[in-house]
Structure 1
Amino acid sequence: MPSPSPSNLPVPHDTAGPLARRGEPDLTRQQELRALGDLGAFGLELVTDRVEELHHAISRRSFDATGPVSDPIRAVHDAVSAAVYGSVRFATGTAARGVAAAVARFTPDDAEPLTETPAGSVARSAINGLLGDLLEEEKSPLAIPMAVRLAGRDVPPTRTLLAEAYPRATPRIVVLIHGLGENEGVWWWRARKAGLGPVIPMSERLHRELGFTAVHVRYNTGLRISENGARLATLLNALTDAWPVDVSEVALVGHSMGGLVARAALRAGDLGGHPWVERVEHIVGLGTPHHGAPLEKGVNLASYALRSVPEAAPIASVLDTRSVGIKDLAFGVIAEEHWRDRDGGALLADYREAITLPDHVTLHAISATLATDPRHAISTAFGDILVRLDSASGDHRKHGLGIKDEHRATIGGLTHFDLPSDPQVYRLVRDWLR
């Protein structure tokens, strides 16, 4: 089930102001089309590169088998194939960009941006999760900036705009941080279940019951977790400084990767001496891979194994185009010094060192398991499909996070994607944040 389009999300009626119903999108249809042309060209060039690598791996084996006698033929072969593949790369890349530019030229200025549609919003977030570091490096308009989001629009953290967006702002702020390839719509994911009617979103219930004002954050999940943490720390510094009322408390709730970004932000803010850090009492991770996700470990292993066979190396190259944000999920890396100057292609290399939270902050963990009984073999083996129980609970023989039993919980019969909008999860979060 796709998550709702942010522009169609329900907005808590008691917290949102006029800004929630106006404002310009961050992309125009023309910008999107040209950016998609660039992305298409990249994809075609990537395929061409991998085919060329496979071609050369096969031909190299044949030429090596015949020895020096084939060197003249090899030289001609290599020159011709290089010219052919170069021409294919140029032609396909130029064609993709040219078609996109032509379509953009004839697109009305007032055409609805593709990323404002339900499918387009989900697709942009997914593309950022997969290739977000590349999008930012190429300065693509499709790269998602770190921003406060309300009803499908960015809210710059200035006193005037925040006061307009949150006219009933309270001193207590809860920051909701989505996970890999997601956007703020995840907090409404599965919010309407068959036969049960609408489920009130966590943001609105926390406002009604505890007086928290929910702030949704959207970010480029393909970037390093440490980088997103640093950007979130800077954003929260500006947000709390310009908040319409004096801030007494900040709580961070993150789904999946979002829990890691929350921890990284707190660390960056603490190292930077940001005042908002002193107002944080709770961080809650929902299905957060504190010690890594098995899927990324599997991809790392597959890539390493494929590179040992020349003919399979092109497949490894395709796998290795995944974003650095995804690669960080192998072991839940949240600090720059734990990946800087390290071999990113090393086999299951865990370079982490212990990182502790400030004494005044309590870390909570909510895990899910496929089986109703968390002790069932299926629960132990597969967790919530994407994150295993020990990782989501913060347990690790070397890097345990010291989460006390009363500050963690496991809910059976849920998947990873049920966590942000499940009523049982909400009740746990509410009780911890009281």
Structure 2
Amino acid sequence: MSESSPNQPSRFRRALGAVGRAALLPVRGVGYLIRSGKAHQHFFLPVLNGALGDQLAARYDPRAIRMSFRRGGHDVAVADLRLSEPHQKTVVFVHGLMGDELIWQTGFQDPPGSRRYGPRLAEEAHVRSLYVRFNSGLHLSENGRELNRLLTELVDTYPDAIGELVLVGHSMGGLIIRSAGYYASVDDELKIKNEELKVRNQKAETDNERSIPTTDQSPDPPSNDSFLIFNSQFLITKAPWLVHLRSVFLLGTPNDGSWLEQNSHFTARLLHRINLFPTRFLSKALNKRSNGIKDLRYAILVDEDWQDAHADDLTPPRTPVPPLPGVQYHILMGAWLRATRPSALREYFGDGLVGQDSARGHNTFGNEAALPTGARVRTAVFSQQHHGGLLTHPEVFQYLKQWV
């Protein structure tokens, strides 16, 4: 039997050391929580707004986030962005539910010195990266209209600095991008119709001023070419960012709705129908979730849909929001479950939060023949990636770098 080395600590000392380390575990755990809390404190307001942001905004609570460009952790007015590089490709990043602009830049658990998509694309693809933060508890259409206004102000303020425009949205952010495009295009269509009517009225007034007609033949109407030129000029005036828009990247976006919110809505209705005090209480508690979360049920992107009297039906009205003409859409989705799982299960759960069928957006992007002129759709699936993993996956970055 070999004797223990004289330098080796005794069993008593080893046991005492183990007890000491165990006693310090709570202290170390608290220290870790404090450091983690400090690193994630910027998420407090975004999470609060995602859960109750509509209620905060309704009572003008100062904690309610207002949509803005962000730089250095602060809101930045468009005029203070001071964009100078001429005709530079500009990428605007839009976060998802309960997120903020930092998800595109860095993370607490990322390796030291590492950077995420925004800074890396700016350096390696030589683009301009801009970040938007918004109140994710508001209706999707409310944020969509505000993003349309913000992008219009951006291009109006820097007409020479903005080259091609690329929009990148994660989860809810992708839906807000689509809603913004809808409102920009609808506003243009309405104004174009008004201007066409104005031209026709001016023509009629000119005809009435002719006291003695020289011929029985009425003057020719304005040519289609003149209308196209006029309309394109008006398009630049009303929604100039649409003229610059070339690509939209939708990362884990529930284009046809979220199965999680669909189940939450069904559960709340079922509890209410049971009509007992405990079930009524739970139903009311569930219905306290924000309008932004509720809109995720079927990706409600238009004001009239959530304002409709049947908005809470199991199959509510849903205004089609088609792709924009001349824009290439990139649908990037994760496959959370292993390939050995049944395909129906993998399709349903998708990246864990967004099903693959919804991410593909069959109702919106499924029929290639129905796509507007110049619109194209590309789809990429990243295996064994969850919803949040799409923000850090190296293959996703390489895809962005290639196609941005």
Q: Distance in 1 between matches of 2:61 and 2:92?
A: 27
Number of residues of Structure 1 aligned to a counterpart in Structure 2: 310
Amino acid at match of 2:125: L
Structure 1, residues 109-156: CA drift from partner, whole Å, max 9, x if none? xxxxxxx95443212111111111100001001100000001101110
Q: Distance in 2 between matches of 1:277 and 1:261?
A: 15
Match of residue 103, structure 2, among 174, 186, 200: 186
Residue 370, structure 1, aligned to residue 336, structure 2: yes
Residue 325, structure 1, aligned to residue 325, structure 2: no
Identity %: 30
Match of residue 153, structure 1, among 54, 74, 83: 74
Which structure 2 residues correspond to residues 207-286 of structure 1 after superposition, within 5 A? 207-243=122-158, 245-272=160-187, 273-286=238-251
Residue 162, structure 1, aligned to residue 81, structure 2: yes
Match of residue 59, structure 2, among 138, 141, 158: 138
Amino acid at match of 2:63: L
Contact 2:179 2:321 in 1 (8 A): no
Residue 381, structure 1, aligned to residue 352, structure 2: no
Residue 289, structure 1, aligned to residue 254, structure 2: yes
Q: 1:209 to 1:387 in 2, by over 3 A?
A: same
Equivalent position SS for 2:129: strand
Match of residue 417, structure 1, among 352, 364, 388: 388
Q: Distance in 2 between matches of 1:276 and 1:405?
A: 19
Q: 1:405 to 1:374 in 2, by over 3 A?
A: farther
Which structure 2 residues correspond to residues 17-96 of structure 1 after superposition, within 5 A? none
Contact 2:49 2:136 in 1 (8 A): yes
Equivalent position SS for 2:81: helix
Equivalent position SS for 2:115: coil
Q: Distance in 1 between matches of 2:107 and 2:338?
A: 19
In the superposition, the TM-score normalised over structure 1's length comes to 0.66
Equivalent position SS for 1:308: helix
Q: 1:199 to 1:119 in 2, by over 3 A?
A: closer
Amino acid at match of 1:250: L
Residue 306, structure 1, aligned to residue 242, structure 2: no
What corresponds to 1:63 in structure 2? none
Contact 2:268 2:283 in 1 (8 A): yes
Contact 2:91 2:128 in 1 (8 A): yes
Deviation at 1:270, TM superposition (A): 2.1
Match of residue 398, structure 2, among 427, 431, 434: 427
Deviation at 1:193, TM superposition (A): 4.7
Q: Distance in 2 between matches of 1:207 and 1:169?
A: 15
Amino acid at match of 2:296: L
Amino acid at match of 1:260: L
Deviation at 1:354, TM superposition (A): 2.4
Deviation at 1:399, TM superposition (A): 7.4
What corresponds to 1:172 in structure 2? 89
Amino acid at match of 1:126: V
Match of residue 357, structure 2, among 382, 386, 390: 390
Q: Distance in 2 between matches of 1:250 and 1:372?
A: 36
Q: Distance in 1 between matches of 2:385 and 2:315?
A: 31
In the superposition, the TM-score normalised over structure 2's length comes to 0.71
Q: Distance in 1 between matches of 2:81 and 2:63?
A: 25
RMSD between superposed Cα atoms in Å: 2.5
Deviation at 1:405, TM superposition (A): 9.2
Range moving further from structure 2, 183-192 or 407-416? 183-192
Contact 1:365 1:408 in 2 (8 A): yes
Residue 337, structure 1, aligned to residue 252, structure 2: no
What corresponds to 2:19 in structure 1? none
Unaligned runs of 5+ in 1: 1-115
Q: 1:199 to 1:395 in 2, by over 3 A?
A: farther
Deviation at 1:169, TM superposition (A): 7.3
Deviation at 1:394, TM superposition (A): 1.6
Residue 125, structure 1, aligned to residue 46, structure 2: yes
Deviation at 1:309, TM superposition (A): 2.0
Structure 1, residues 348-385: CA drift from partner, whole Å, max 9, x if none? 22311322223111221000011353985452231111
Amino acid at match of 1:381: Y
Equivalent position SS for 2:185: helix
What corresponds to 1:359 in structure 2? 325
Equivalent position SS for 2:333: strand
Equivalent position SS for 2:44: helix
Contact 1:172 1:250 in 2 (8 A): yes
Contact 1:146 1:232 in 2 (8 A): yes
Equivalent position SS for 1:292: coil
Max Rg structure = 2
Q: Distance in 2 between matches of 1:256 and 1:374?
A: 26
What corresponds to 2:282 in structure 1? 315
Q: Distance in 1 between matches of 2:316 and 2:381?
A: 26
Q: Distance in 2 between matches of 1:240 and 1:117?
A: 36
Q: Distance in 2 between matches of 1:390 and 1:407?
A: 14
Amino acid at match of 1:385: G
Q: Distance in 1 between matches of 2:270 and 2:155?
A: 48
Equivalent position SS for 1:127: helix
